[in-house]
Structure 1
Amino acid sequence: MEDLGAVVVGVDGVGAVLPPHSPALPTTDLNSLVEALDPTVRWVTWSADAVAAAIRAGARLDRTWDVAEVHRLIHGGWAAGPELAWAATHGLDPQDVPSAPTGDLFDLLSDELPPEDLVRPDGHLRADAVSGAWLTTPQRCAAFAEAARQVARHQHEVRRAAGPRALATACAESAAAVLCVELESAGLPIDRAAASRLVTAAAGPEPHDVAEELASRQVRDAPVLAALPGTGHVDLRNPAQVKTMLARAGVDVPSTRKWVLEAQVGAHPVVPALLEWRRQERIATTYGWRWLREHVGSDDRLRGAWAACDGAAGRMTAQAGLHNLPAELRPAVAADEDWVFVRADLGQVEPRVLAAVSGDRAFAAATRENDLYSPVAAQLGVERSVAKIAVLAAMYGQRSGSAAQALRGLEREYPVAMAHLQRAQDAGRRGEPVHTFGGRRVRTDIPGSDGSDDDGRDTLSSARGRFARNAVIQGSAAELFKAWAATVRVAVRPLRSRIVLCLHDELLVHVPQEYADQAAATVDQALTDAARRWLGGEQVRFVADTSVVRRWSEAK
């Protein structure tokens, strides 16, 4: 087994570093803790968030083992606190983990525990250690760090027994968790003046009181109401009233969702007016003036919390709108003066991942082309557009529509890939967990009834099946992406560059102008290297569309 160190940060900078073969190093300030972290050691943490103060103080932690992220890999779901990881390692019932003290009278009734004991008589960790309140001395931090190392050693054995890929995935997920802390700390560069202009164009001038805010709403509402004169007062933020208004115009829709309205765009002028209203309203209410005030700092950086796993298939998530920024606001994401962005977007990643995880050699051959859909179309004897729809429909469990016949062709020409998806779907329908390429356990036992509805809507088992069918691909793609991001994170550091955004399949790297071309080449090479390690070979080709831009909106 790899030698593991461990690190814990406690209260007010107190902490402890446990090198692999040396006595514990107690610390009373973050700087000394950071200096004690040998970059050649793989450091165990309960979670990247638990040592975020050290990361912000300069700890690189390029080689880590994140107990929480590995627990999520092994057991699925989101909950992965130290108490649960400890319980899982020691065969304890997770339902019996103690609750953190609340300070009320009921705490007086709880069993007394010697102040320096980390483990309770029932084998569980003491609750105030899990909450962090107990970590007030270097000695206590050292005991908590040793507990983390015990759990990590057990997890390491479990992942190693599952194979080299499972072990490598655990390391990449751990690195991604550290990257998440760095992303939140550094922030995304924003051109505040441009952002203000774009918000003004969509939401009107910044309101200074309630009256001005209401007036701005009326200005946004006016074009919609003018498209249907004589309707009287309609609250456009009330879906029931909007449906009634549309019915008066002869537009009968089951809901007011965007995709439903887009199908009716030629039915009446009120529909395109309503779609434009929706766009402006979203910016005004979600990405408007309050968003700028609360999330863009005085240093013109957009910051929000990041997570390396969504608790389902394992995709990265972010708050403060970082993962849902409207295209209209992307011109406001601008590099600093004398800096640029290297933007790289994985091309056709999910079908390429399907070829990799299924082991379908015929499908893998199609990935040798820059455009995977062209050789698939030729093999099926259909147009490229039909082949694309069929491949995407196969991964999402859609069997009707114009691509139905092409889907049957996929099953004939690429039976190994299609069988891989079908096995996942069958397991999901039964409520059984499925696993990604890197071994993440994805639960499909969604609560609810398996009965079908009278109106013909899909049963819960069907929904579970479709979720599982896509999760084995989407989750595997997320693992490849994080392995790539972790590789880029370290590779571009000598160029004074850093990742500032991870958006599903897309990386945005902030780079000094003089290193732009070198950084772009480094990002591309990192994909080749990460994919080879992730796949264990070069059977499948992965590609990225990489460009150098000043503003995010300039990327095509």
Structure 2
Amino acid sequence: MRASSEISQPGATDPAHWIALGRLGDRIVAVALDAKADETTRVDLAPPEVAAWVRRRESPSLRWVWSDTPTWYADLLAEGVRVARCHDLRLCHAILRTPGGDGAPGDPSMSRAWDAAAVEVPATAPALFEIEAAATRPSLPEDIEDVLTEFRRQRAAVEAAENPGAIRLLVAAESAGALVAAELRAAGLPWDEAAHDEILTDVLGERDADGVPAKLEDAARRVRIALSDPSASLDSPPKLLRALHRVGVMVDSTSKWELSEHRHPVIEPLLEYKKLSRLQSANGWAWLDEWVHDGRFRPVYMPGGVVTGRWASSGGGALQLPRQLRGAVRADPGWLLVTADVAQLEPRVLAAMSADTALAAAARGRDLYAGIVETGAVPSRADAKIAMLGAMYGATTGDSGRLVPRLRRTFPRAMGLVDAAAATGEGGGVVSTWLGRRSPPPPPEWQAVQARASEPDAAAADETRARRWARDRGRFTRNFIVQGTAAEWALAWMADLRGRLAALPEVGAADAASRSGPVFATRPHLAFFLHDEVIVHVPAAHAERAADAVRDAAATAGRLLFGDFPIDFPLDLRVSRIADKG
């Protein structure tokens, strides 16, 4: 496999080594380390000296070691300093630590102070896919000696791993992702506030003197008429449920899917109200005032914020941005946006992980779901999508339950891989992504439920509960390996793309572009990321080269993770001034 320059790890013969940054009192200490992580030189700096010193020492072959990328890198970016590589101790500790570790040398679990880096896991498995990191950043050790000790401990843990090469690539990619996240916030996503206001007014209606949009108020009025209750509370689920029950709509929740199954005059206006209310509360005028300034939306990304390795957001809601607001994403004058998303990323990753050549062939050069239909496994594209999602998420009822067995017959290697992961999870075991990120072990509550079901006096309810929890965990581990590996591919894609964009020529300074900050005011840069999609903000003169960089980086990411296995990752790529325009 060929590693990209941005996430390759320095080897023992590489002249590039590391520089660790930490604190000693009110001073900053920089410690240069050789290939064995032995100290060679130490420099004492006042905080105002750090950016200039880093600028002088920075080189593409050097990796900076620090406790937490946002803590250190944000200030450097504000001073116009970009670094090529880092080792983020917080994120790497979360990957390398062994829950309940035995304290063996090299086991990062020995260092409990760094466990703030880890995502806490609730007892119920399905919620694991939606975990987001806390809005407040953990307080981590920044003393230089603590930094050096943890770095050496992590290096020892990597070398002691079952597959050191894969883990080495994973921690390098995770650290590169931390740099990308900080740069996305520093550069910001170009955002037209007037266009956003126009979209809100068109969808929600003009606001009255109290700030209430007309269309939202009208939907609320029609709901209350249908409920025969002019004072009905529509924003309190318990009160709304009681009001619905009074008119004969016997639902257990106010979810869109459950409401849609009922026929009653209240359903249509209530669904409309919920849709408009969601836009108003999540991305309305208050959101615009808080998160968009000087033509930029700067969310707070949290790499590794979900246990699978997917990113989360702790501010701004970038990962839940509604498509109807894409029209507000507009390039600066003289610049364009390159928007690219990967078609069916997770099923393609599954094909490569399992070495299922039949599934890879169905995906090659075309829509994967259409390719599945051509194999004769299912009759329609809609069936293919339902079946594949059911296989990856463990759906056993309805259309998924009917269609998944057909996939097992046609793609036995791919289905066998996720079925085996599910069986491991149901038994309380731990699974790993392609590069070695481990799923969390089942929590004590889960273990207790399983143990209770095995006792001689266990009731039927105990056994039912244990089976349900086991199946829930099996669904979690089934998808963990696929979603986590897809996240690794996306990290490799962004890391390689980041380096390719940095190599493109700068353009002359422009007032509009200066809103992207001192590092990115005159050069192409990543501006947005959402699981399998990126947006690049690029001077118009370099738009085609940037588009080629996006495509080439996707191909490189596939080779980096899966070698010569014949799977492709086609992109839906658009170059435009407005993000929602082709």
Whether TM-score is above 0.5 comes out as yes
Distance in 2 of aligned mates of 1:456 and 1:330: 46
Task: Name 2:569's counterpart in structure 1.
Answer: 542
Q: List aligned pairs for 1:14-413, cutoff 5 A.
A: 14-18=28-32, 20=34, 22-28=40-46, 29=49, 30-52=51-73, 53-75=75-97, 89=106, 93=110, 130-132=140-142, 141=144, 143-158=145-160, 162-202=163-203, 212=211, 218=217, 221-226=220-225, 228=226, 230-264=228-262, 267-297=263-293, 299-318=294-313, 319-384=315-380, 385-413=382-410
> Structure 2 regions of 5+ residues with no counterpart?
1-10, 117-137, 454-459, 505-522
Instruction: Check conservation: 2:355, 2:565, Cα contact below 8 A.
Output: no
Other structure's SS at 1:263 match: coil
Q: Once the 2 structures are TM-superposed, how far is the Cα of residue 14 of structure 1 from its aligned partner? A: 3.1
Instruction: Check conservation: 1:6, 1:18, Cα contact below 8 A.
Output: yes
Task: Name 1:112's counterpart in structure 2.
Answer: none
In the superposition, relative to structure 1, how do residues 454 and 42 fare at CA in structure 2: closer, same or farther (>3 Å)? closer
Task: Name 1:438's counterpart in structure 2.
Answer: 435
Q: Once the 2 structures are TM-superposed, how far is the Cα of residue 95 of structure 1 from its aligned partner? A: 5.7
In the superposition, relative to structure 1, how do residues 545 and 129 fare at CA in structure 2: closer, same or farther (>3 Å)? closer
Task: Name 1:427's counterpart in structure 2.
Answer: 424
One-letter code of the match for 1:307?
Answer: M
Instruction: Check conservation: 2:342, 2:572, Cα contact below 8 A.
Output: yes
Distance in 1 of aligned mates of 2:348 and 2:331: 31
One-letter code of the match for 1:341?
Answer: L
Distance in 1 of aligned mates of 2:114 and 2:197: 49
* 1:81-121 alpha-carbon deviations (Å, 9 max, x no partner): xxx9x99736775568899xxxxxxxxxxxxxxxxxxxxxx
In the alignment, structure 1 residue 492 sits paired with structure 2 residue 501: yes
> Structure 1 regions of 5+ residues with no counterpart?
100-127, 136-140
Q: Once the 2 structures are TM-superposed, how far is the Cα of residue 207 of structure 1 from its aligned partner? A: 7.7
One-letter code of the match for 1:47?
Answer: D
Q: Once the 2 structures are TM-superposed, how far is the Cα of residue 234 of structure 1 from its aligned partner? A: 0.6
Distance in 2 of aligned mates of 1:95 and 1:76: 11
Other structure's SS at 2:318 match: coil
Other structure's SS at 1:234 match: coil
Instruction: Check conservation: 1:44, 1:152, Cα contact below 8 A.
Output: no
Distance in 2 of aligned mates of 1:378 and 1:256: 39
Instruction: Check conservation: 2:191, 2:295, Cα contact below 8 A.
Output: yes
Instruction: Check conservation: 1:428, 1:464, Cα contact below 8 A.
Output: yes
Distance in 1 of aligned mates of 2:348 and 2:34: 40
Instruction: Check conservation: 2:94, 2:115, Cα contact below 8 A.
Output: no
Distance in 1 of aligned mates of 2:533 and 2:354: 24
Q: Once the 2 structures are TM-superposed, how far is the Cα of residue 491 of structure 1 from its aligned partner? A: 0.7
In the superposition, relative to structure 1, how do residues 501 and 455 fare at CA in structure 2: closer, same or farther (>3 Å)? farther
Instruction: Check conservation: 1:76, 1:443, Cα contact below 8 A.
Output: no
**Which moved further from structure 2: 45-54 or 488-497?**
45-54
In the superposition, relative to structure 1, how do residues 97 and 308 fare at CA in structure 2: closer, same or farther (>3 Å)? closer
* 1:366-420 alpha-carbon deviations (Å, 9 max, x no partner): 2213112233223244313222211111111112223434322222222221111
* 1:322-380 alpha-carbon deviations (Å, 9 max, x no partner): 11112222211211112111111010111111111112222222221311223322324
Task: Name 1:7's counterpart in structure 2.
Answer: 20
Q: Once the 2 structures are TM-superposed, how far is the Cα of residue 193 of structure 1 from its aligned partner? A: 0.7
In the superposition, relative to structure 1, how do residues 420 and 455 fare at CA in structure 2: closer, same or farther (>3 Å)? closer
One-letter code of the match for 1:480?
Answer: W
Other structure's SS at 1:256 match: coil
Distance in 2 of aligned mates of 1:145 and 1:58: 25
* 1:454-478 alpha-carbon deviations (Å, 9 max, x no partner): 9978721111110110111001000
In the superposition, relative to structure 1, how do residues 214 and 549 fare at CA in structure 2: closer, same or farther (>3 Å)? closer
Distance in 2 of aligned mates of 1:547 and 1:285: 30
Higher relative contact order (CA 8 A, sep 6+): 2
Q: Count matched residues.
A: 507
Distance in 2 of aligned mates of 1:36 and 1:354: 42
Instruction: Check conservation: 2:22, 2:147, Cα contact below 8 A.
Output: no
CA RMSD in angstroms comes to 3.3
Instruction: Check conservation: 1:380, 1:410, Cα contact below 8 A.
Output: no
Distance in 2 of aligned mates of 1:549 and 1:482: 24
Distance in 2 of aligned mates of 1:88 and 1:292: 50
Other structure's SS at 1:25 match: strand
What TM-score do you get using the length of structure 1 for normalisation?
A: 0.82
Distance in 2 of aligned mates of 1:186 and 1:173: 20
Other structure's SS at 2:320 match: coil
In the superposition, relative to structure 1, how do residues 148 and 205 fare at CA in structure 2: closer, same or farther (>3 Å)? farther
Instruction: Check conservation: 2:434, 2:481, Cα contact below 8 A.
Output: yes
Distance in 1 of aligned mates of 2:215 and 2:385: 43
Other structure's SS at 1:402 match: helix
Distance in 2 of aligned mates of 1:380 and 1:328: 36
